[in-house]
């Protein structure tokens, strides 16, 4: 069996961090299994779906390196949905219902007020032909529901949650088609999963009850069930569901200078028993992906943890991996000098200005002014090479008797304008002798 997974976002908005995590896990399982990862744009809501959102979704996945093997749009597949719908009508698995949304909401409130679950009472199945004719005369159009089989308990073994059991009598017959003829999510998703040969459906645990109903739709269509896995939802760092998680996406991650691999390193293992580690390449994440590692507890997303991971990953990146993104003139030696001080790649240009100048150094006091004059005098007489920093500081120590902070800090301030920064042994050769002499006075 070839493993086929899918990521099926609706192009009605941008991807957020929860969407990205679901896409990543589907992609990882497909890649580990040597299978296929499909991108399916669930754009049946023609009013809210936008081409710009579809393009943004694809751009986000590409930036993360989650390349798909095939792409489909539900809006191109309406003829197939119509055909399967007629099949289900003929077999008695779907039925029309004429209640308005206001009537349904009133019934729901009455049931809740009585302490009962708000399950649809199937009143539509009892309508007489005269009642249906009266509704039609009023101009009412029916919406359509899938008729759950109340005689068969719904069972499946979830790859994350284990054995699952639902009593269909406690579920409402799901609405699958609106009165205007437009489709809701439930049935087209099943039809597509069957038609595309999806073997594994991996999504959030908020879809568990949807899965229960959809399992009966698979059966009604005479199709084999895929394997299901429902992962715990993300929470914010404070331990509660956070509205902010709904707004965090690739645009935000790019804006603050994060590396794609930082996002992948965190989200791949968030909610699992595996340690979260910084990875510069995705291969270890693919190799270690296993449903057995997933837990049931909510997965806590922490932006501070993401920032720390990003910093560690930047420190792992070789020059070849970043050369195209570096400021003009920065070579491998420059990268190696500033890399340990970076939190993200966007800071590279700021650190490189220490080399290229101009540098605004704080005015030294009288003692340090004399010290820097001595440093300039010594530097004039030294051969300027890779070991110029220890040569200069060694000679200065011997001449002035200074050591430690008294020796190094005035030099760093004069040469870089800062009290901290990259290793001066690496930085001074990059600044060059002429520029160093100018900065020393």
Main-chain dihedrals φ then ψ at residue 156, nearest 5 degrees: -160, 160
Q: Could you tell me which of 5, 11, 8 has the C-alpha nearest to residue 31?
A: 5
Name the DSSP class of 234: E
Q: Where are the beta strands (DSSP E) in 268-357?
A: 299-300
Name the DSSP class of 7: E
In a 10 Å sphere around its CB, with 0-12 CB exposed, 13-18 middle and 19+ buried, how is residue 38 labelled? Answer: buried
Main-chain dihedrals φ then ψ at residue 71, nearest 5 degrees: -130, 140
To which residue do tokens 């300027």 refer?
A: 384
State yes or no: 36 annotated in a binding site.
no
Element housing 16 (H / E): none
Name the DSSP class of 298: P
b vs e for 351-371, b when ≥16 Cβ sit within 10 Å of the residue's Cβ? bbebbbeebebeebeeebeeb
- The size of the chain, in residues, is 441
Strand 143-146, strand 175-177: pairing: antiparallel
Longest distance between any two alpha carbons in the chain, whole Å? 110
- Binding site, residues? 243
Annotated binding site for ATP: 243
């Amino acid at each position: 069996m070839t493993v086929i997974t899918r990521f099926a976002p609706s192009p009605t908005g941008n991807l957020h961090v929860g969407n990205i995590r679901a896409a990543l896990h589907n992609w990882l399982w497909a890649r580990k299994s040597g299978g296929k990862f499909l991108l399916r744009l669930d754009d049946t809501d023609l009013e809210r779906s936008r081409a710009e959102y579809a393009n943004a979704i694809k751009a986000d996945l590409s930036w993360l390196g989650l390349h798909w093997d095939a792409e489909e749009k539900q809006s191109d597949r309406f003829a197939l949905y119509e055909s399967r719908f007629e099949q289900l009508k003929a077999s008695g698995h779907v039925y029309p219902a004429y209640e308005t949304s206001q009537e349904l909401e009133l019934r729901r409130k009455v049931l809740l007020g009585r302490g009962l679950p708000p399950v649809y009472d199937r009143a539509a199945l009892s309508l007489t032909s005269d009642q249906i004719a009266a509704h039609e005369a009023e101009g009412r159009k029916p919406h359509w529901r899938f008729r759950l089989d109340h005689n068969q308990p719904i069972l499946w073994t979830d790859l994350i949650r284990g054995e699952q059991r639902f009593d269909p009598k406690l579920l409402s017959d799901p609405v699958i088609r609106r009165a205007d003829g437009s489709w809701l999510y439930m049935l087209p998703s099943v039809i597509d999963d069957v038609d595309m040969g999806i073997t594994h459906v991996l999504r959030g645990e908020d879809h568990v009850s949807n899965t229960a109903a959809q399992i009966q739709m698979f059966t009604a269509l005479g199709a084999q069930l895929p394997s299901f896995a429902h992962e715990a939802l993300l929470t914010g760092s404070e331990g509660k569901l956070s509205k902010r998680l709904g707004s965090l996406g690739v645009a935000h991650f790019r804006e603050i200078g994060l590396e794609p691999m930082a996002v992948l390193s965190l989200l791949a293992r968030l909610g699992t028993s595996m340690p979260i580690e910084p990875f510069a390449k995705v291969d270890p994440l693919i190799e270690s992906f296993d449903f057995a590692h997933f837990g049931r507890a909510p997965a806590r997303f922490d932006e501070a943890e993401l920032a720390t991971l990003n910093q560690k990953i930047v420190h792992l990146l070789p020059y070849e991996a970043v050369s195209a993104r570096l400021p003009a003139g920065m070579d491998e030696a420059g990268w190696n000098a500033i890399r340990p001080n970076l939190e993200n790649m966007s800071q590279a240009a700021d650190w490189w200005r220490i080399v290229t100048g101009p540098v605004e150094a704080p005015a030294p006091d009288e003692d340090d002014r004399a010290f820097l004059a001595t440093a300039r005098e010594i530097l004039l007489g030294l051969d300027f090479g890779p070991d110029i920093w220890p040569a200069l500081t060694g000679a200065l120590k011997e001449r002035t008797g200074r050591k430690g902070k008294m020796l190094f800090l005035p030099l760093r301030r004069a040469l870089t304008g800062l009290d901290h920064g990259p290793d001066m042994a690496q930085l001074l050769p990059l600044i060059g002798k002429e520029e160093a002499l100018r900065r020393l006075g």
